[in-house]
Chain A
């Protein structure tokens, strides 16, 4: 950024007549005013932008007056139809209806107010500002003899994909819309769900070259001001040339960079963002990616799906508990199998122990090596299926199922019991709604397997302790990672292992929503009307 400005300054010294106007006090010291000479402006722009062919310079004469104007925009970023209709046509034809006398004293205001038929037009004197407007797709009109220019916003809105259901977060019941790459539409999707003056967006620009818009969204009065300030401060600290995806930002703002556990939640769903904002959390939207980030993110949130809140609470609670179970299965099941078959055979009922032993008959490896082979093979398969084009991906899964599931058992390389364990683990890990969290579970399975292969249940338990202590020590933007499980708080339990019915979830989560704790009116439990009146 600063390099670019230095070149401006040098350039400015050569071409620009400095004495025209003292720079505005407000604009800061990097302020470079534009010239009142059209040709100088054109030259300046061409020097800075390097004469790229996609930058269009269009000369027009305003009305009958013959005053020259220069329209600059970037082809492709700008809606050329709209420019032709509302700028070119207005400047050339419709300006004729204005009295000549007015045109002689043509000002930016007259153009803005009488000529242009665009909804958004801004007057601007700073060269840098105008340059950044052009680069982000606005159209800038320079007028001969005026020391200001007009930036009109006619960005090409049609170049984005349609709103579709997010692939990673599918639901049975719930809205089918997901974020898209266009950031402005994403904010609109959230605004459509939260029609409240409390919804605030604060924009920042990060990335010296990409100039990516990053937006902090929160509900004023519900989100903790300190939290919002902290998020903004962490975002402002980022100094990088480019932000192409929110993952870039995530690695800068997360609390525990070396932890396998994510402390920032990702989502593609506007309803998830809206729900998080209602809980007093803060969302960070990034231009150019459909993935929004939510902070603070705690352990329990990665095991919650948006659908939990749309389904009946009894069913949702059942699913919740199932998810906790499958979280533990995905993390510990292979290790448990290794520990039991290697160290603690006496724990199994005799019949089961016998059938395990029979299944392992002829397998040349110890259970740990067997498990390692299978787990690694499965991870490779999963990755292969993910990267390949969809039709080929299916072939991979068939090959994987046949080769790994069937042939390797026939060849006595692995035992059938191990195939069951590995596939059960895999299926369990698929039930974790937070994809990033699933990744960390996949990763952590291996060290725990090593521990339990060397020390049996004791190693497994020590691995579990280290994991628990690590998670209990983490914080995400000041909120303990395991809250409300540890430190345990009673009101928080309404939304952890069970999902309480909406009429019973009176309060927002304590850690984030303490500014405005009550969210549901009391006494709304549906009752039989006869009981209510007659008694």
Chain B
């Protein structure tokens, strides 16, 4: 099993960075498509359930020190239901991870290399993921921490360079169609914000779990700010209608950039940087699924699982969707309930159940009270 330890801030930055890759590509289109000119509200809105999941995961992590969500669900719900919930999470991480891999290949074949077949991207990335996961959490954390400034820097650069095309009037009027489209539109984006659930797998491997609160909130808020910035700039440039029609508005935003006829057509570079981030995301999710399965099966080491799981992972990524619109359909209609179940309801349910049954280590409250 995992022997390495990561610091709390590494964990926080990992949680913040890993969903950026797909989120920056996909989210603005979803948000603008549903909520039109109110798309900027969505990221603010999903912070509310985000806070709930952060609280639940953090509390559970502190109540069951040294245990991942797969392990403490077994402690809370007993052997059979616990293992069932554990397997649900394993399948969730595994399935979504392979979908992320599919997304990556479709970005690449759509934007960068249209003549190369997707299977090459999937297999090669799969091999690199295998190589990375082989070295364990410490290396994954170092990788994501290094991606953080690169992605944030590239996003800020894009926003800065496309500022001249922005028209903030596209953000008005405020709530012209009522609250309903905004609420509906925020279902899918919560899937990305709720990726904080990976922390439920990582808290036991953090060196000071009691200090996790600040990095956790940093991840939640930081992720929101970056997505918000991304959505707003897409909305401001393309407007509520065109922005909803384009499937990858941020990529088109990058295509508009032209500085002195020298910095132009940088979308390949940008896409590749973000695709790199997608690779880290898929790595994190694959790692969580491997670790989770090893814990469900009570294995001493997860190493024998790596190879077979990666083969299935690649197969699912290749066969699950035949094209990108099919994925968009999944992400907008099928994923939200799926995401809410795993990324909100189950953890909250586990916390409630554990609380009612009086399990786990209790804290007497904030520092002032006890010793």
Are B264 and A349 neighbours in the complex by a CB distance under 8 Å? yes
Shortest Cβ gap from A346 to chain B (Å): 5
* Residue B10 at the chain A interface, CB threshold 8 Å: yes
Most chain B C-beta atoms within 10 Å of own C-beta, residue among A343, A456, A486: A486
Are B116 and A465 neighbours in the complex by a CB distance under 8 Å? no
Task: Kindly list chain B residues whose C-beta atoms are within 8 Å of the C-beta of A461.
Answer: 272, 275-276
Q: Which of A372-398 contact B (CB under 8 A)?
A: none
Are B268 and A465 neighbours in the complex by a CB distance under 8 Å? no
> DSSP class of B's interface residues: helix, strand, loop or mixed?
helix
* Residue B262 at the chain A interface, CB threshold 8 Å: yes
Pick the contact of A349: B125, B262, B275 (CB < 8 A).
B262
Shortest Cβ gap from A203 to chain B (Å): 36
Also in contact, A486 and B142, with CB within 8 A (given A343-B113, A349-B261): yes
> DSSP class of A's interface residues: helix, strand, loop or mixed?
helix
Shortest Cβ gap from B67 to chain A (Å): 24
Also in contact, A462 and B269, with CB within 8 A (given A456-B112, A487-B7, A487-B141): no
Pick the contact of B143: A346, A462, A472 (CB < 8 A).
A472
- Among B22-30, B43-51, B128-136, B192-200, the one that faces the other chain is B128-136
Task: Kindly list chain A residues whose C-beta atoms are within 8 Å of the C-beta of B146.
Answer: 468, 485-486, 488
Task: Kindly list chain A residues whose C-beta atoms are within 8 Å of the C-beta of B141.
Answer: 487
Interface residues on chain B, number (Cβ under 8 Å):
33
* Residue B201 at the chain A interface, CB threshold 8 Å: no
Shortest Cβ gap from A264 to chain B (Å): 21
Most chain A C-beta atoms within 10 Å of own C-beta, residue among B6, B120, B142: B142
Task: Kindly list chain B residues whose C-beta atoms are within 8 Å of the C-beta of A349.
Answer: 261-262, 264
Binary per-residue interface labels of chain B (176-220) against chain A in the complex, 1 for a CB within 8 Å, 0 otherwise: 000000000000000000000000000000000000000000000
Are A472 and B128 neighbours in the complex by a CB distance under 8 Å? no
* Residue B139 at the chain A interface, CB threshold 8 Å: yes
Shortest Cβ gap from B100 to chain A (Å): 15
Also in contact, A456 and B275, with CB within 8 A (given A462-B128, A469-B131, A469-B143): no
Are A458 and B145 neighbours in the complex by a CB distance under 8 Å? no
Given the complex of chains A and B, what is the CA–CA distance between A468 and B121 in angstroms?
19
Shortest Cβ gap from A511 to chain B (Å): 14
* Residue A344 at the chain B interface, CB threshold 8 Å: yes
27 A-B residue pairs with CB within 8 Å: A346-B265, A347-B269, A349-B261, A349-B262, A350-B261, A455-B113, A455-B116, A455-B120, A456-B113, A457-B112, A457-B268, A458-B108, A458-B121, A458-B275, A459-B124, A465-B276, A466-B128, A468-B146, A472-B138, A472-B139, A472-B143, A473-B138, A480-B138, A480-B142, A485-B146, A487-B138, A488-B145
Interface, chain A (partner B; CB < 8 A): 343-344, 346-347, 349-350, 455-459, 461-462, 465-466, 468-469, 472-473, 480, 482, 485-488
Q: 9 tightest CB-CB pairs across the interface, nearest first?
A: A486-B142, A473-B135, A472-B142, A472-B139, A469-B132, A473-B139, A457-B272, A346-B265, A344-B268
Other A-B contacts than A462-B128, A469-B131, A486-B146, 17 sampled, CB-CB below 8 A, are: A344-B112, A347-B266, A455-B116, A457-B112, A457-B268, A457-B269, A458-B108, A458-B112, A458-B113, A462-B125, A466-B131, A472-B142, A473-B135, A473-B138, A486-B145, A487-B6, A488-B142
